[in-house]
Every structure is written in C-alpha cells, then in structure tokens.
Amino acid sequence: MADKEPIREIKVTGDGSHTLYLPEMEEHYHSHFGALTESEYIFINTGLRYCKGDKLRILEVGFGTGLNALLTAIEAGEGKKFIHYYSIEKYPLASKVIASLNYGELIGKSAVALFRSIHSAPWNKPVNVTDFFTLKKVKGDMTTDALPGIFDLVYFDAFGPDKQPEMWSDDIFHRIALASRPGTVFVTYSAKGRLKRTLLANGFDVEHLPGPPGKRCITRAIKR
C-alpha cells in the first residue's frame, strides 16, 4: 500500500515567514521563532558561507518547502558561486501549498520568480535554474536510496530524531560519510549527544555553535 499523503497546515512564524505543521506528527517544518531566520542562520551562515571555493556540490536531506534551496540559489548568484544542489524528499508538496508560501515576497531580490522556478523544476532531473545554481530534486527515500558522487556541503534538515528516528540512523550517517571528502561540511539544527557520537564515529570533527532564536546550539561537523 502506498504511503498516505500527510496533512500540512500553513503557520506564520515569529519573523513573519511561513512554515508547515504536520498534525499527525505534531511537528513543524521550521522553528516557530522564524522559518526564514532559522534557515538563513543554520544553512547559509554556518554552512554555505563557511565553505571555501567557488564550485560546490551540496546534498540536502529533506527538500521540504524549498526554502533552503531558495536561499542557496540567491547566495550563489550574489557570491558568484557555482552550486550543484542535490535534494532528496519523500513527500513533495502539493502545488497549492507551495503557492501559499510567502518566502519570495519577504525576501525580495526577484525571489518570487526564483522560488517558482525552483518548484517548477521537474523531479529526478538536473535543471539549470540560474547561471550559478543547478538543481536536482529527487523524489525518494534517504533510508534506502543511494547517494550519487561526493559532496562538499551537507544540509541535514530531516524532522527531529524523536519524530523521525529512522532518518537519524547510523546507516544514514555512514552513507553520508562515504559521500563526503576530507573537508566536507555538515550542518544541522540538532545538537543531540547521540548525533555527535555518530558523526565522530563516521570520521567527522564536531562542534556545537550558538543557535538561532529559540535554539541554544546547533551542530557543524567537518569530515576528517
């Protein structure tokens, strides 16, 4: 039997940006203190801007609303970085949900059109969204699907380990490690002790950084 499509409700977070709420899991896609603030801080400030070089391959675990992809595409254009972005998502959003999200309007800088381009890109096929941002969205399952190639940066944005423990298994982090080179950067909002131990066991040096509003700390790890 196919998995049932979950119900998603749009919620306004503390900075005015939208997130989605899953009643069945009692889980939000982003922090209720600010979806835009959280994504910008964790994945752009402590992840993308920390990476050196002007050509990067990024793995995103959990495409979700596409907010991380949008912010990355904007940063790529502003910083003249050539980014190949690979994102895997088991439950892509319905078009009516996407159309209701307000990230483009809040960000500006032609972000409305860019957000539409990201979501209109076909699944399972690489698309040159801009001159600096190539996107491949994969409709798949991170717990079973193989990862292609080696990545320079990993955005780990799955639901929390208490809600989706299968996404935080030793096997998944082992496969991420195999898809990482020395110096690959890994960032996530979680700072659980078990996560740190798993990353250390898979060849990463781990540091806890101050978090965005509402979160005491987050994790950044570098592959040894």
* Tens digits of residue pLDDT in 131-168: 999 999 999 999 999 999 999 999 999 999 999 999 99
Give the integer Cα–Cα distance in Å for 187 and 183.
Answer: 13
* DSSP structure class, residue 42: I
Ordered strands of the 18-22 beta sheet: 9-12, 18-22, 27-28
Give the integer Cα–Cα distance in Å for 200 and 21.
Answer: 32
Give the integer Cα–Cα distance in Å for 191 and 187.
Answer: 10
Residue 89 β-bridge partners:
139
pLDDT digits (tens, 9 = 90+) for 73-107: 999 999 999 999 999 999 999 999 999 999 999 99
pLDDT digits (tens, 9 = 90+) for 18-71: 999 999 999 999 999 999 999 999 999 999 999 999 999 999 999 999 999 999
Q: What is the pTM of this model?
A: 0.96
CA 184 to chain centroid, in Å, comes to 15
Q: Which domains does the chain have, with CATH numbers?
A: 46-223 (3.40.50.150)
In angstroms, how far is the first alpha carbon of the chain from the final one? 42
**Contact assessment for residue 128 and residue 134, using Cβ atoms and an 8 Å cutoff:** yes
Give the integer Cα–Cα distance in Å for 114 and 180.
Answer: 29
111 three-state secondary structure: helix
